[in-house]
């Protein structure tokens, strides 16, 4: 569109008449440079987080990039790995979750001969598999291609609003332009060249030429700034979402506490039959027969050792849904280690007084039992469990946990702690971290219906014994309640919830699949960096909103003036070159500086509504000033060039008033910016008037300019007061209608 307008201006005018196009070219070049800079920065970070796989090459295990895998490669998939290609299991056993590709969240056991679908992920266990379909031939790739045909990539609310605005303007601008040319040439008697140039000036003013570009640049710069904070951005839209987050869901381990756990104490429950040496041997056997895919097993290995040499006939890997792991030895001898309330079932009340003092003190409590059967799928029967010992583990609070959660409380962000651990343990840890409402806890096993879960999502702060599927449902419930939800996670048990969150944040030290599905990845795996990440989102969105108002003021003015010129039959007073002066000094330069400022205000409301609330009154003030000048010019029979020059300079003054209002509250940098803009305007009017088609003003014209220049501030203030009063009346009337409707119901 701009190219067409530039060509028309060049045909019927001079190179000065395409001044607006030079600004577009410069803005585009700046955007390209910023995009290249961002790409370079992100490429360096992406190398660190590139998905990798363990392949068997020449009989040896080697770590390679997933992109280097080929058909018939043998790959080792362990807990936390995402299946990168369709494969056939050769050996081993693992529990897989296929929810990301099939929508079914049940864990599926895979053994030799089973098929693995790309896109699914390993919950527990380990298998060796031969790749049968890679790249575009894999199941996940075919799904992705089908999705791309039927669904566009998601855009943030802000980008959707801008796209819609520009689309509407694009539809309106063509018939308006044709009518303007017709009116000015045939009805007002201007020659075709003057008609085209006046029309180009009106249409250029209607298009927010730099707004979309400014938004893209600001978001790109934000990506670079986040990269500097060791945060990898997978999705540009999540930066806006970050700024609107009002609920943050976190896990206990790895977020509130450090990931590492240590066994602190062993409490024997039947010392007459199982003494300390017996317990140590059983736990050492247990560690030796489990894969090192979670921090609990690592802690058990460090404390009890894992070199017993006793081989289990069948190993039961830990699962987030069942909350236990185990091993079956010869002659059916079976030991299970897991959550006491799960393994004991109905017998838990008999041991409650022994167990709960430890859980209330913030320790994680595991129970070792001898199981008098071969456990099948699902939960064990507590009546068949013989309790042997309690294994007490501790997590140390992260150094900056209290400061981090204090920040979120002060910013109005609610914290929801969603964990698979005992709710008493999690509640104690949350209280120590300073999380508000930590005493409000619930055991997720009580949330047996959708209604209970929905109510609990709003009421409680701490959720214990949560399954991966329940995590997902809690995030959905919070979202349906109108919250903007962020979710942090690092394990495979977090993946389903991360996919549902408005903004998902993974720790790079966590599972591969969690990093792949998240919008943001904290490469240092340090939750204390989250405040700076949230502040970056708020900074960029608040500043874009503020700068966008400057752009839309001109659009409101140009559209209203074009409609009035058609209705009242007067010549459109400005040309594109004159408007480019106003755009550069009162929009382009200030918006660039304001978009890069720090701004920590909470983002509320709809983007376009917020922007129009600032732009509409100012745009009408522009119209009032220009109409007044046209009326005075007509009364004093000033030449058209004099009126046009007065309008351009007066618009510049009114635009500077708008910039001043936008900069309030003032800072040293903002005052300096306003002074710079005033000096720029004076320089252009005095020394570059020929370039911007500004005529030397006569005495009468100077007086008119002085009057309306002085009136610009009170006129704009008056329109803002009217707009605010009208808004209050509309809201009041709407509230009355709602109350009336409520009484009727």
305-341 pLDDT per residue, tens: 877 778 888 888 887 778 899 999 987 889 999 999 9
Residue with token string 């890679």: 134
Instruction: Indicate if the pLDDT at residue 152 is higher than 50.
Output: no
Which pLDDT belongs to residue 44?
59
Q: Are 721 and 594 contained in the same domain? A: yes
DSSP 323: -
Of 353, 374, 397, the residue at which a domain comes to its end is: 397
Distance separating alpha carbons of residues 112 and 88, to the nearest angstrom? 8
Over residues 428-456, mean pLDDT: 93
Q: Are 121 and 165 contained in the same domain? A: no
Which pLDDT belongs to residue 706?
95
Percentage of the residues of the chain whose pLDDT score is greater than 90 = 37
Torsion of CA 66, 71, 77, 82, to 10 degrees: 50
| CATH number of domain containing 469 | 3.40.50.1000
Instruction: Indicate if the pLDDT at residue 480 is higher than 90.
Output: yes
Residue 429 token pair: 């840890």
Say which residue, 4 or 630, is predicted with more confidence. Answer: 630
Distance separating alpha carbons of residues 103 and 87, to the nearest angstrom? 19
Instruction: Indicate if the pLDDT at residue 89 is higher than 90.
Output: yes
Which pLDDT belongs to residue 105?
59
Is residue 146 very low, low, confident or very high in pLDDT (cuts 50, 70, 90)?
Answer: very low
Which pLDDT belongs to residue 650?
96
Exposure on the CB side of residue 344, measured as CA atoms within 13 A = 18
45, part of any domain: no
Which pLDDT belongs to residue 15?
53
Q: By three-state DSSP, how is residue 521 classified?
A: strand
Which pLDDT belongs to residue 147?
38
Which pLDDT belongs to residue 463?
96
Q: Are 697 and 606 contained in the same domain? A: yes
Average pLDDT, the chain: 84
Which pLDDT belongs to residue 737?
78
| CATH number of domain containing 343 | 3.40.1110.10
φ, ψ (nearest 5 deg) of residue 636: -100, 10
Say which residue, 27 or 526, is predicted with more confidence. Answer: 526
Q: How far is CA 337 from CA 21, 267, 286, 322, 615, in A?
A: 71, 14, 8, 11, 64
Distance separating alpha carbons of residues 64 and 51, to the nearest angstrom? 9
Of 397, 413, 436, the residue at which a domain comes to its end is: 397
Which pLDDT belongs to residue 39?
64
Q: Are 589 and 604 contained in the same domain? A: yes
Which pLDDT belongs to residue 370?
93
Distance separating alpha carbons of residues 514 and 508, to the nearest angstrom? 9
CB 578 within 8 Å of CB 692: yes
339-374 pLDDT per residue, tens: 999 999 888 999 999 999 999 888 889 999 999 887
Which pLDDT belongs to residue 11?
63
Instruction: Indicate if the pLDDT at residue 289 is higher than 70.
Output: yes
Q: Going by DSSP bridges, is the β-strand pair 485-489/247-250 parallel, antiparallel, or unpaired?
A: parallel
109 membership: H or E segment, kind and range: strand 107-110
Q: Are 432 and 554 contained in the same domain? A: no
656-688 pLDDT per residue, tens: 999 999 998 888 999 999 999 999 999 999 999
504 membership: H or E segment, kind and range: strand 503-507
Q: Going by DSSP bridges, is the β-strand pair 121-133/385-397 parallel, antiparallel, or unpaired?
A: unpaired
Which pLDDT belongs to residue 294?
74
Q: Which range among 108-117, 504-513, 567-576, 727-736 has the greatest average pLDDT? A: 108-117
Instruction: Indicate if the pLDDT at residue 50 is higher than 80.
Output: no
58, part of any domain: no
Least confidently predicted of 495-504, 526-535, 598-607, 615-624: 598-607
Distance separating alpha carbons of residues 110 and 125, to the nearest angstrom? 9
Distance separating alpha carbons of residues 543 and 535, to the nearest angstrom? 12
| CATH number of domain containing 571 | 1.20.1110.10
Which pLDDT belongs to residue 141?
52
Q: Are 606 and 543 contained in the same domain? A: yes
Sign of CA dihedral 281, 287, 290, 296: positive
Say which residue, 696 or 218, is predicted with more confidence. Answer: 696
Q: How far is CA 447 from CA 353, 451, 469, in A?
A: 24, 8, 12
574-596 pLDDT per residue, tens: 887 888 889 889 988 898 788 77
Domain hosting 206: range is: 2-35+158-223+534-728
Q: Are 6 and 107 contained in the same domain? A: no
Over residues 284-309, mean pLDDT: 85
Q: Is the peptide bond before 665 cis (omega within 30 degrees of 0)?
A: yes
Distance separating alpha carbons of residues 618 and 606, to the nearest angstrom? 19
Which pLDDT belongs to residue 254?
78
Which pLDDT belongs to residue 155?
62
Q: Which of 296, 433, 425 is nearest to 364 (CA)?
A: 425
40, part of any domain: no
Q: Which of 196, 182, 243, 192 is nearest to 218 (CA)?
A: 243
Least confidently predicted of 38-47, 164-173, 304-313, 620-629: 38-47
Which pLDDT belongs to residue 143?
47
Q: Are 351 and 496 contained in the same domain? A: no
Distance separating alpha carbons of residues 506 and 495, to the nearest angstrom? 9
Q: Which range among 281-290, 502-511, 597-606 has the greatest average pLDDT? A: 281-290
Least confidently predicted of 172-176, 487-491, 674-678, 687-691: 172-176
63, part of any domain: no
Is residue 501 very low, low, confident or very high in pLDDT (cuts 50, 70, 90)?
Answer: very high
Say which residue, 444 or 93, is predicted with more confidence. Answer: 444
Say which residue, 513 or 141, is predicted with more confidence. Answer: 513
65, part of any domain: no
56, part of any domain: no
Q: Going by DSSP bridges, is the β-strand pair 115-116/257-268 parallel, antiparallel, or unpaired?
A: unpaired
Residue 35 burial by CB count (10 A; 0-12/13-18/19+): exposed, middle or buried?
middle
Long-range contacts of 322-327 (CB under 8 A, 24+ apart): 322/378, 322/379, 323/420, 323/465, 324/380, 325/124, 325/286, 325/290, 325/297, 326/286, 326/371, 326/375, 327/285, 327/286, 327/289, 327/290
> Catalytic residue at 262?
no
Instruction: Indicate if the pLDDT at residue 476 is higher than 90.
Output: yes
pTM as predicted:
0.74
Which pLDDT belongs to residue 4?
65
Q: Which range among 229-233, 569-573, 600-604, 618-622 has the greatest average pLDDT? A: 618-622
Q: Are 121 and 182 contained in the same domain? A: no
Q: Are 646 and 723 contained in the same domain? A: yes
Instruction: Indicate if the pLDDT at residue 181 is higher than 60.
Output: yes
Percentage of the residues of the chain whose pLDDT score is greater than 70 = 87
Distance separating alpha carbons of residues 175 and 267, to the nearest angstrom? 83
Q: Are 321 and 381 contained in the same domain? A: yes
Say which residue, 11 or 606, is predicted with more confidence. Answer: 606
Domain count, the chain: 4
Q: How far is CA 740 from CA 696, 726, 728, 730, 732, in A?
A: 62, 21, 18, 15, 12
378-402 pLDDT per residue, tens: 677 777 889 999 999 988 888 889 9
| CATH number of domain containing 97 | 2.70.150.10
Is residue 742 very low, low, confident or very high in pLDDT (cuts 50, 70, 90)?
Answer: low
Active-site annotation holder among 73, 251, 306, 490: 251
Of 397, 426, 460, the residue at which a domain comes to its end is: 397
44, part of any domain: no
43, part of any domain: no
DSSP 207: S
Q: By three-state DSSP, how is residue 526 classified?
A: coil
CB 544 within 8 Å of CB 222: no
Q: How many CB atoms lie within 10 A of CB 479?
A: 16
Least confidently predicted of 26-30, 321-325, 701-705, 718-722: 26-30
Q: Are 370 and 472 contained in the same domain? A: no
């Amino acid at each position: 569109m701009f190219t067409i307008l530039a060509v028309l201006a060049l045909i019927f005018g001079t190179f000065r008449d395409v001044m607006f196009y030079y600004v577009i070219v410069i803005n585009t070049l700046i955007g390209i440079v910023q995009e290249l800079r961002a790409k370079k920065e992100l490429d360096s970070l992406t190398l660190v987080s590139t998905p990798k796989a363990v392949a068997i090459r020449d009989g040896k295990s080697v770590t390679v990039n997933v992109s280097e895998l080929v058909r018939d490669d043998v790959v080792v998939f362990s807990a936390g790995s995402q299946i990168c290609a369709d494969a056939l299991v050769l050996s081993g056993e693992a529990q897989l979750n296929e929810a990301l590709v099939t929508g079914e969240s049940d864990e599926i056991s895979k053994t030799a001969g089973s098929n693995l679908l790309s896109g699914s992920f390993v919950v527990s266990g380990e298998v060796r598999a031969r790749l049968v379909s890679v790249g575009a031939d894999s199941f996940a790739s075919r799904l992705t291609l089908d999705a791309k045909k039927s669904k566009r990539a998601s855009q943030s609310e802000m980008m959707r609003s801008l796209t819609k605005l520009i689309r509407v303007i694009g539809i309106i601008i063509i018939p308006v332009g044709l009518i303007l040319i017709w009116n000015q040439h045939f009805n007002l008697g201007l020659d075709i060249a003057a008609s085209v140039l006046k029309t180009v000036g009106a249409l250029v003013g209607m298009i927010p030429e730099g707004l979309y570009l400014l938004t893209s640049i600001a978001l790109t710069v934000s990506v670079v700034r986040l990269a500097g904070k060791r945060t990898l951005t997978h999705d540009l839209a999540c930066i806006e979402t970050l700024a609107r987050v009002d609920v943050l869901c976190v896990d206990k381990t790895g977020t509130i506490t450090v990931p590492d756990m240590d066994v602190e104490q062993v409490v024997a429950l039947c010392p007459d039959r199982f003494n300390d040496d017996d317990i140590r041997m059983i736990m050492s056997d247990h560690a030796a027969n489990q894969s090192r895919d979670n921090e609990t097993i690592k802690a058990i290995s460090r404390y009890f050792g894992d070199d017993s040499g006793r081989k289990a006939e069948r190993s039961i890997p830990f699962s987030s849904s069942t909350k236990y792991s185990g091993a079956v030895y010869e002659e059916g001898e079976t030991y299970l280690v897991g959550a006491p309330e799960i393994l004991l079932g109905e017998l838990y009340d008999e041991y409650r007084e022994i167990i709960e003092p430890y859980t209330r003190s913030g320790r994680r409590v595991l129970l070792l039992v001898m199981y008098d059967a071969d456990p099948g799928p699902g939960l064990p029967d507590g009546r068949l469990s013989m309790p042997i010992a309690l294994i007490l583990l501790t997590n140390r609070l992260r150094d900056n946990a209290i400061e981090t959660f204090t920040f979120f409380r002060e910013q109005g962000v609610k914290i929801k702690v969603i964990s698979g651990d005992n709710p008493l343990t999690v509640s104690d840890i949350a209280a120590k971290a300073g999380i508000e409402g930590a005493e409000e806890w619930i055991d997720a096993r009580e949330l047996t219906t959708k209604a209970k879960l929905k109510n609990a999502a709003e009421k409680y702060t701490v959720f214990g014994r949560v399954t991966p599927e329940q995590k997902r449902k809690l995030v959905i419930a919070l979202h349906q309640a109108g919250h903007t939800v962020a979710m942090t996670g690092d394990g495979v048990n977090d993946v389903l919830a991360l996919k549902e969150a408005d903004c998902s944040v993974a720790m790079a030290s966590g599972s591969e699949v969690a990093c792949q599905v998240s919008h943001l990845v904290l490469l240092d795996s340090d939750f204390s960096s989250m405040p700076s990440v949230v502040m970056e989102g708020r900074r960029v969105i608040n500043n874009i909103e503020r700068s966008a108002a400057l752009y839309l003021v001109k659009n409101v003015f140009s559209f209203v003036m074009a409609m009035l010129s058609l209705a009242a039959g007067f010549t459109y007073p400005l040309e594109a070159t004159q408007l480019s002066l106003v755009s550069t000094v009162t929009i382009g330069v200030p918006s660039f500086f304001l978009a890069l400022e720090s701004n920590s205000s909470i983002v509320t409301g709809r983007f376009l509504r917020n922007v129009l609330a600032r732009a509409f009154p100012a745009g009408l003030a522009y119209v009032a000033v220009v109409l007044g000048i046209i009326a005075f010019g007509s009364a004093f029979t000033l030449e058209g060039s004099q009126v046009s020059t007065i309008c351009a300079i007066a618009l510049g003054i009114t635009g500077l008033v708008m910039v001043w209002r936008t900069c309030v509250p003032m800072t040293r940098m903002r005052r300096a910016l306003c002074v710079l803009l005033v000096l720029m305007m004076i320089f252009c009017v005095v020394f570059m008037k020929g370039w911007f088609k500004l005529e030397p003003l006569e005495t009468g014209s100077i007086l008119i300019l002085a009057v309306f220049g002085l009136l610009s501030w009170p006129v704009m203030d008056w329109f803002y007061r009217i707009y605010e009063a009208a808004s209050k009346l509309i809201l009041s009337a709407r509230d009355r209608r709602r109350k009336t409707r409520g009484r009727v119901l």
